[in-house]
Amino acid sequence: MGFFAIRNKSALSDCGITKSLVYFYQGDLYKSVSYHILGPFVIAFCWVTIIVLVTEIITKKEYFTGLLYNKKLAYRLAYFLAIYHFVRLILFVKNNSIDDIMHQSIWF
């Protein structure tokens, strides 16, 4: 947030995942997904993580350890994120002028 405050810009104007979370909390699922497809899943992941960690502390057992250290799953997620963000970048460049892009960049 400090970097955005220095630039006199809101953090919400620069981060798709943040806007997605804000719209999800406001109950607008369509806008949430339109800003970032993984926004609602981030919230669900956080809740599941809290529940699992509390359960692990109470039962003194580990759950999902094999899933968390699964290389195949990690590579699939990395490929998905790379492709998703590459498509978002292409659509962003296609739908905005060079002036709009420069205005939204950190170099402006």
CA distances from 22 to 12, 28, 39, 44, 94 (A): 9, 9, 9, 14, 26
**pLDDT confidence of residue 97:** 85
Give the pair of three-digit tokens for residue 61: 């057992």
Give the pair of three-digit tokens for residue 46: 């956080």
Do residues 92 and 101 make contact, with C-beta atoms less than 8 angstroms apart?
Answer: yes
Query: pLDDT tens string for the chain (108 positions)?
Result: 444 444 444 443 456 888 899 999 999 999 999 888 899 999 999 999 999 999 999 999 998 888 888 999 999 999 999 999 899 889 888 888 888 777 776 665
Do residues 55 and 63 make contact, with C-beta atoms less than 8 angstroms apart?
Answer: yes
pTM for the model:
0.66
**pLDDT confidence of residue 15:** 62
DSSP reduced 3-state for 16: helix
